Amino acid sequence: MENVIETKNLTKYYGRFFWKKPVPALSNLTLNIPMGAVFGFLGPNGAGKTTTIKLLMDLIKPSEGEALILGCPPENVEIKKQIGFLPDEPVFSSYLSANEFLNICAKLLGVPSGERKARIAEVLEIVKMTKHAKSKLGGFSRGMVQRIGIAQAILNHPKLLILDEPLVGLDPHGRHELKNIILHQKSKGTSVFFCSHILSDVETICDHLGILNEGNLLCTGKIGDLLKDTGVSLHISPGHDEIARELLAEASETVKLPDGGWNLTFLNNKEVKETLLRVREKHKNAVTMIPAKENLEKFFFRTIENAKTNN
Ligand SMILES: Nc1ncnc2c1ncn2[C@@H]1O[C@H](COP(=O)(O)OP(=O)(O)OP(=O)(O)O)[C@@H](O)[C@H]1O
Ligand SMILES: [Mg+2]
């Protein structure tokens, strides 16, 4: 199987009434997400991200089109056991302790009874909630509930993780830990599909992304292929200030690094590029050249703005 998620013309209308002009919440979504990818799904509020996730999780039915998850339609019960899911705004029974709740989840997911206790302790440790194992969920903060939500999502060693706004409510440590959890899952071969509004985090975690706007997919692909080359970056090793000084005037951005080295960024320009190549040739051991890319935030706004002007 090549793709972990495939959708073809997936379309969703909510409450279609004959007196209302129908506006789809999701329109003809066609996506192919390769196995093992960490896919970030971006888009403004109301773009249709949660709708897509609900369709993938079989919580709502499509008006048109189809989806395949791990090669099967979303209603396949066996496939559900291989998916870890974190809904947006998770609400769990407030009378259960974290342990009791995760035990119910483990039973539902078919974790063998002999393994449940150890696995629950393991996931509580991963989300740094061990000391709250016996506390009732009703007394948890938003971020603590989110951590328990993440714990239940990874409980069954899923092949695919589907997370709706997983970074919401987490403090800086929590965000950092979640990024590590996602990267660890990826290293084990788990594919991840998640929505987020925190572009800097998406940029560090994802290798693939899609941008949705008003129900329409504006672009999708590998992050490296989507972000525009904006020029070139030059790293100069410590102790070579004379090389940096020679180039400072031409650079669009200059950063002196704490170790005494330099990072200089240059805009795309043929003459500058020729100078840089010459400098690199002359100081092979002190200079590294890397293509500079626009950041995800710039790309995101550019894509959304283009969609507005083309409408
Ligand atoms: N149950 C529903 N009934 C009617 N309309 C709905 C329903 N759920 C969502 N919508 C509409 O569908 C559109 C897409 O909503 P969706 O929740 O998928 O957006 P989203 O991209 O997840 O937004 P956010 O970033 O705010 O979470 C919105 O216009 C929303 O009003
Ligand atoms: Mg949403």
Percent of the chain beyond pLDDT 70? 98
Q: Which of 47-61, 150-164, 257-271 has the lowest mean pLDDT?
A: 257-271
Q: Is 46 in the pocket of ligand 1 (CB under 6 A)?
A: yes
pTM, two decimal places: 0.86
Kindly tell me if the per-residue pLDDT of 22 is higher than 90: no
Instruction: Using the predicted structure, report yes or no on whether residue 18 has a pLDDT greater than 70.
Output: no
Residue 162 CA to residue 168 CA, distance in Å, equals: 15
Cα 51 to averaged position of ligand 2 atoms, centre (Å): 7
For 289-306, the pLDDT digits (tens) are 888 888 899 899 999 998
pLDDT tens-digit readout, 27-50: 999 999 999 999 999 999 999 999
Closest ligand 1 atom number to CA of residue 44 = 25
Tell me phi and psi for residue 240, to 5 degrees: -125, 45
Residue of 51, 59, 193, 211 best suited for mutating to test ligand 1, as the one with most atoms within 8 Å of CB: 51
Atom number of ligand 1 nearest to Cα 60 = 1
Residue 109 has pLDDT above 90, yes or no: no
- Please give the pLDDT value at position 90: 79
Q: So where are the chain's domains?
A: 3-222, 229-293
Nearest to 283 by CA among 248, 235, 233: 235
Query: Is CATH 3.40.50.300 correct for 3-222?
Result: yes
Out of 82-96, 219-233, 239-253, 267-281, which region has the weakest mean confidence (pLDDT)?
Answer: 267-281
Tokens of 188: 């084990």
Nearest ligand to the C-alpha atom of residue 51: 1
- Report how far ligand 1's centroid is from the alpha carbon of 87 (Å): 13
Nearest-atom number in ligand 1 for the CA of 23 is: 29
Write down the architecture of domain 229-293 according to CATH: 2-Layer Sandwich (3.30)
* Residue of minimum CA distance from atom 26 in ligand 1: 45
To test ligand 1's pocket by mutation, which of 11, 49, 168 has the most ligand atoms within 8 angstroms of CB?
Answer: 49
Q: What CA–CA distance (Å, rounded) separates 112 from 188?
A: 21
Determine contact, residues 240/286, Cβ cutoff 8 Å: yes
165-206 tens-digit pLDDT: 988 888 888 888 888 889 988 999 999 999 999 898 898 899
**Pick from 25, 16, 69: nearest CA to 51:** 25
pLDDT digits (tens, 9 = 90+) for 203-240: 889 999 999 999 999 999 999 899 888 888 889 999 99
First to last CA, the chain: 37
Per-residue pLDDT of 278-288, as tens digits, reads 888 889 889 99
Query: How far is the C-alpha of 105 from the C-alpha of 94, rounded, in Å?
Result: 15
Neighbours of 247 (CB within 10 A): 19
pLDDT at 267: 84
CA of 198 to the centre of ligand 1 (A): 19
The tokens describing 267, both together, are: 């805009």
